[in-house]
Chain A
Amino acid sequence: MKTNAVNLTETEYVLPGNRLCPGCSVSLAYRHILKALEGQVIVTVPASCLTVLHGMYPVTSVTVPCVNTPFASTGASATGLIAGLKALGRTDLTVLAIAGDGGTYDIGIQALSGAAERQDDFIYICYDNEGYMNTGNQRSGSTPLGAISGTTPILGKQQNQKDMTAIMEAHGLPYVATANASYPLDLYDKVRKARAIEGTRFIHVFTPCPPGWRFPFSDTIRIGDLAIQTGWDILYEVENGAFRLTSASASVARKGNLRPVREFLVEQGRFKNLTEEQINQLQDRVNARWQRCLDRATDLS
């Protein structure tokens, strides 16, 4: 049976009244990630907006066990949980490490790469709000070209994002996927699939951030969807090397109706200073990436 809103479990692991901004897609994505794991999980979280969601001592908004860990150490913390559980003979729990793009692309890349190279048995989820939002929106390795942030305040960022999912795929992982908070069922299915696989599984989740990207919080879902419709974000999974477009990205590919990336950019205040040249550069980048995905998606024809 296909997962839909009607048959999806009602059990919640994220409690109402948490500290995240109204309309935060991280909160939405996390709800569905934990549903997919049915609470049978130990989570490790570094400094990030997600730490804020988890709450302030002695109260947490989350009903699964969790270990907060210093910013750079998420991958290693996961390894420690796995090693500890193994030493104690507990085999029923999934270890989930979940960090922002700063904690993944930048300061945490070493520990993550180490854990992935060791093929440690856990799911790593990077939720990507394309900046250091917890500290007030500074540039990260995932902040796009031209975007204004606290540390690219006037000129916008001068460099492109790095493709972290490709970097993780290069580790030879059994499962690598992308997801988007605007497609919670696709996210849910991917986490469920990842749960059943052994080894290091990596999922990148695109999570629009209303204050950081400067759009009204009511538009979170629409902005996430625009990212998919324009190819800014692409939904796919790579299972033991086999590439597949999923959900809305598969449908855009089939219909061939990719929309101009400008439609995604103009909705956000962070891109207000983009030059035409930068828009063209971003479009070229999206086109190249989209084409690479189409070339790999052998199941489309």
Chain B
Amino acid sequence: MGTRECKHICGESSQGIGEAGRTGEWRSARPVIDHDKCTPARQNKPACFLCWLYCPDAVISKTIPVQINLEYCKGCEICAQVCPTHAITMVNEEEFSS
């Protein structure tokens, strides 16, 4: 099977999630949210969302409760660093593999 079907005559790309693959696999530690500490979950209304604001990879949802897409989270820890209530802790991936 050749590539004629694609019809491109130059390098024309269209969007796709996970262009670099499942970048979650790059991670050595995983952010885990303690919703008892997380402001929007505690107040049950939109608030804070600083982790969402600062996540370089846009893998945190602006929802109640806040959720992290672990398929693509690169484990950079920025969310944990910026969280004012220390609701996010980084847990070594090895602890999930067993």
Binding between chains A and B: yes
User: What is the interface of chain A, defined by CB distance below 8 A to chain B?
Assistant: 5-6, 8, 10, 12, 14-20, 22-25, 27-28, 31, 55-63, 184-185, 217-222
B58 proximity list for chain A (CB < 8 A)? 12, 14-16, 31
Within the complex, the shortest CB–CB distance from A31 to chain B, in Å, comes to: 6
Q: Are A63 and B62 touching (Cβ within 8 A)?
A: no
Whole-angstrom CA separation of A20 from B6 in the bound complex: 27
A17/B77 contact (C-beta < 8 A), A5-B53, A58-B8, A59-B14 known: no
Chain B, interface residues (CB within 8 Å), range = 35 or more
Q: Are B15 and A16 touching (Cβ within 8 A)?
A: no
User: What is the interface of chain B, defined by CB distance below 8 A to chain A?
Assistant: 6, 8, 11-23, 26-27, 46-50, 52-59, 62, 69, 71-72, 74-78, 80-82
Q: Are B8 and A222 touching (Cβ within 8 A)?
A: no
Within the complex, the shortest CB–CB distance from A202 to chain B, in Å, comes to: 24
Q: Are A22 and B48 touching (Cβ within 8 A)?
A: no
Of chain A, the residue at the smallest CB distance from B47 is: A6
Q: Are A59 and B15 touching (Cβ within 8 A)?
A: yes
Whole-angstrom CA separation of A59 from B12 in the bound complex: 9
Q: Are A28 and B13 touching (Cβ within 8 A)?
A: no
Whole-angstrom CA separation of A19 from B50 in the bound complex: 23
Partner of A58, one of B13, B21, B46, B78: B13
Q: Are A28 and B54 touching (Cβ within 8 A)?
A: yes
Besides A16-B57, A16-B72, 18 more A-B contacts (Cβ < 8 Å) are A10-B62, A14-B58, A15-B18, A18-B19, A18-B20, A22-B26, A22-B74, A22-B76, A25-B56, A28-B56, A57-B12, A58-B11, A60-B13, A60-B15, A60-B16, A60-B19, A61-B16, A218-B81
Within the complex, the shortest CB–CB distance from B87 to chain A, in Å, comes to: 15
Whole-angstrom CA separation of A25 from B58 in the bound complex: 12
